[in-house]
Amino acid sequence: MSVPGDLNITASLTPYSAIVGDSKVTLSCTINGEPPAIGWDWTKTQVDGGSSEIIAQGTNNVKRQIITSATNPNLNIFGITEKDGGIYNCRANNGKRHFISNPVNLKVLEASFRTAPGEPETSSYVEFQIGMTVILSCSSTGANPPPSVIWLKDDIVITSGTNTSTSGNITITTLTFTTTANDDHEVYECQVDNGFLKRPLVKTTYLTLKPSINAPGQPEITGSHQYHLGNTVRMICRSTGGNPLPTLNWLRNDNVITNGISSSSNNGITTSTLTFTAGLEDHLSVFECQADNGVLKKPLATTTYVAVYFTPTVPILTGPTNLISGSSGKWTCSSLHGYPAPTISIRIQDRHYTNEFVVVQSYDVIDRSYIVSGTLDVVPLSDKSGQNICCDVSHLLNNKEPQSVCLQLTIEGRSQNRNCDRYGEELDNNRQGMHGDDNSEAPYGTMFVSH
């Protein structure tokens, strides 16, 4: 119970994981109470202790920003690095007293590919007697960063009686409690989330005092996770049993879907098929199928997700086009906003550079796409004059030819090594003479190559 004049401050559930290179992490803070807060800030302490750093309102910078709100002064951290890891607390005062939230442990993991968590697995419905101890278990396999696995009842997170453990790449959370008569037909929901998808994955189970054939079966969804942009997506949801037979409803990111649905019932199995064309708005969306026949206190639910493969924008190649033979040149090729991450390579005419081409990639958590760039630093000789330096970007879309962008090189002068060029190819006097006598400047420009 809140005491008059007190503030109740709640920060994000712990732990919270981020990956080096993420563009943004938001730590939530909720403040309730009267009189309202008139000032707020955040503190940060290293996990191993030490003095606290105050992140004050009014001292925001490009790196960290506190939202100006007396009820939700969330902390945004941009351009995540390992130094951002630590223990964060939200603080507030209402002119009478100072209050502090529970700690948020921000764990920053090494740069890596992000992956979605495995769909939650729970036990089937549980029959019980009043006063017995029930243990509900929910697990999720894989994911980077590792997911949080939590239990909810009536849309409220359950913290008492829960225990989370990991075994290999499996995260398991158990819920232990003693049953009462009010638990009959109560629905418990497991949520799995690591920040990669647009909302948590969900699976439900329920309790019943006695055997019953009235409740519908847990809905099961079949269909692929990966689709190309513009492909037809077809998901099938089935629920077995139930008296009366259940109604199956589809939701996308918590919004009810009304179009593209066909339903049928046969031999006690209720089926609902959802069909639509994959668009960018569907990328990493969570789709939920709910089964409800009025017997349980809330619908049973199962979720899945869709990842839409889309090509990046036309690659960008920058670097010099006029050089002196023997001088170094540096070229950079960038591929933006593709999913999954494309593969990029660079070549001068048909000569590919692999060891010399340094490629890095990052993930944009806002656009939910990849940015890949590579840098080549070499010394092209005069025999490359008039040839094209090209960047090729390959993407896993219907095995199409790569996107290419080229620059034409003009290289003046000739190498001081009269016997061989940079790649050890033997040159005769006539060839050297031809390169040495050619002092004209070849035209150059950016060319997009279609294979």
Q: What are the tens digits of pLDDT across the range 96-119? A: 889 999 999 998 888 777 889 999
SS3 382: helix
Mean pLDDT, to the nearest integer, of 124-142?
86
Mean pLDDT, to the nearest integer, of 152-177?
93
**What percent of the chain is predicted at pLDDT more than 70?**
87
pLDDT score of 437 more than 70:
no
Strands (E), 154-186: 156-157, 162-167, 170-178
Residue with more model confidence, 61 or 304: 304
pLDDT-derived band at 141, boundaries 50, 70, 90: very high
SS3 264: strand
Q: What is the pLDDT of residue 109?
A: 84
pLDDT-derived band at 292, boundaries 50, 70, 90: very high
**237 vs 274: CA distance, rounded Å:** 8
pLDDT score of 438 more than 60:
no
Q: How many CB atoms lie within 10 A of CB 251?
A: 16
Mean pLDDT, to the nearest integer, of 351-355?
93
pLDDT-derived band at 444, boundaries 50, 70, 90: very low
Question: Contact, 373 vs 342, CB < 8 A?
Answer: no
For the chain, what is the mean pLDDT?
A: 85
Least confident of 126-135, 258-267, 284-293, 428-437: 428-437
Mean pLDDT, to the nearest integer, of 232-243?
94
Q: What is the pLDDT of residue 210?
A: 67
Q: What is the pLDDT of residue 449?
A: 42
SS3 408: strand
pLDDT score of 213 more than 70:
no
Least confident of 166-170, 193-197, 218-222, 424-428: 424-428
Least confident of 11-15, 171-175, 192-196: 11-15
pLDDT-derived band at 3, boundaries 50, 70, 90: low
Question: Contact, 339 vs 307, CB < 8 A?
Answer: yes
pLDDT score of 125 more than 90:
no
Mean pLDDT, to the nearest integer, of 252-279?
95
CA gyration radius for the chain? 30
Mean pLDDT, to the nearest integer, of 4-32?
81
**64 vs 57: CA distance, rounded Å:** 10
pLDDT-derived band at 171, boundaries 50, 70, 90: very high
Mean pLDDT, to the nearest integer, of 254-276?
94
Least confident of 60-69, 134-143, 316-325, 328-337: 60-69
Q: What is the pLDDT of residue 399?
A: 59
pLDDT score of 332 more than 70:
yes
Strand 316-318 with 329-338, pairing: antiparallel
Q: What is the pLDDT of residue 2?
A: 53
Q: What is the pLDDT of residue 231?
A: 95
pLDDT score of 175 more than 50:
yes
**Phi/psi at 225 (nearest 5 deg)?**
-90, -30
**What percent of the chain is predicted at pLDDT more than 90?**
58
Mean pLDDT, to the nearest integer, of 29-52?
90
**Phi/psi at 448 (nearest 5 deg)?**
-95, 125
Which one of 198-202, 208-212, 427-431, 443-447 scores highest in mean pLDDT? 198-202
CA-wise closest residue to 87 among 120, 126, 45: 45
Q: What is the pLDDT of residue 4?
A: 64
Q: What is the pLDDT of residue 268?
A: 82
Q: What is the pLDDT of residue 398?
A: 56
Mean pLDDT, to the nearest integer, of 51-74?
84
pLDDT score of 381 more than 80:
yes
**Phi/psi at 29 (nearest 5 deg)?**
-140, 125
CA-wise closest residue to 89 among 17, 11, 37, 32: 11
Which one of 48-52, 136-140, 292-296 scores highest in mean pLDDT? 136-140
Phi-psi region of 213 (alpha: psi -120 to 50; beta: other; left: phi over 0): alpha
Q: What is the pLDDT of residue 29?
A: 92
Cα–Cα separations (whole angstroms), residue 128 to 132, 173, 210: 7, 20, 7
Question: Contact, 283 vs 308, CB < 8 A?
Answer: yes
Q: What is the pLDDT of residue 343?
A: 93
pLDDT-derived band at 126, boundaries 50, 70, 90: confident
Strand 16-19 with 104-109, pairing: parallel
pLDDT per position as a tens digit, 390-413: 999 998 765 578 899 999 999 987
